[in-house]
Amino acid sequence: MKLTYRIVEFHIYINGWTCIQIESLISGVGGTGRGGLRSLTRYDEDTDWQKKLTPEQYVVTREKGTEVPFSGIYLNHSEVGMYHCVCCETPLFSSEAKYDSGTGWPSFKEAHGTWGQDESHACIIRRPDNSLGSAGTEVLCKNCDAHLGHVFDDGPDPSGQRFCINSVLLNQNKH
């Protein structure tokens, strides 16, 4: 059995976590050719999110809900560590970027892995969203498409960004 790995996306972060997506292409011996693609990502499209998550986590992450402001466990949380996606454990935001925006939701100046203006190494993606009544930008987990919250351009310097993120979808690992 010959195994060939094609690295689609490979990001290594300083904290030792690897955000990795590998597709393995398996060829059988004897010239049977391509045996099929096997995904090694943590996110499986068949995941039963309703089983894996609490009802509140499910509504926020998979149905784009929003938790009640000033209700989240991480709103006034100041412990040092990394905040991970509750669905797939991808590191999303560092406590170093957290600040009090006064809005009632945990707020971050930038996503983990952002270098200056370059967000290509972060594990979040942005998507236009008009559901707030005006043009907004939704923030999702790049690995599993979980809805995280929204990003606004009224944040503090130097980024000027305010990532408004629901506590319910975050898990913090302490350093």
Residues that bind Zn ion (CB under 5 A): 85, 87-88, 90, 141, 143-144, 146
Amino acid code (one letter) for 174:
K
Cβ closer to Zn ion: 53 or 141?
Answer: 141
Please identify, using beta-carbon distances, which residue of 97 and 146 lies nearer to Zn ion: 146
Query: Catalytic: 123?
Result: no
Distance of CA 173 to the CA centre of its chain: 15
Q: Closest approach of Cβ 143 to Zn ion, in Å?
A: 5
Residue 146 CA to residue 133 CA, distance in Å, equals 21
The least distance separating Zn ion from the CB of residue 133, rounded to whole angstroms, comes to 27
Least separation in angstroms between CB 1 and Zn ion: 31
**53 or 87: whose CB is closer to Zn ion?**
87
The distance of closest approach from Cβ of residue 87 to Zn ion in the complex, given in angstroms and rounded to an integer, is: 4
State the Cα–Cα distance between residues 167 and 76, nearest whole angstrom.
10
Q: Which residues are catalytic?
A: 164
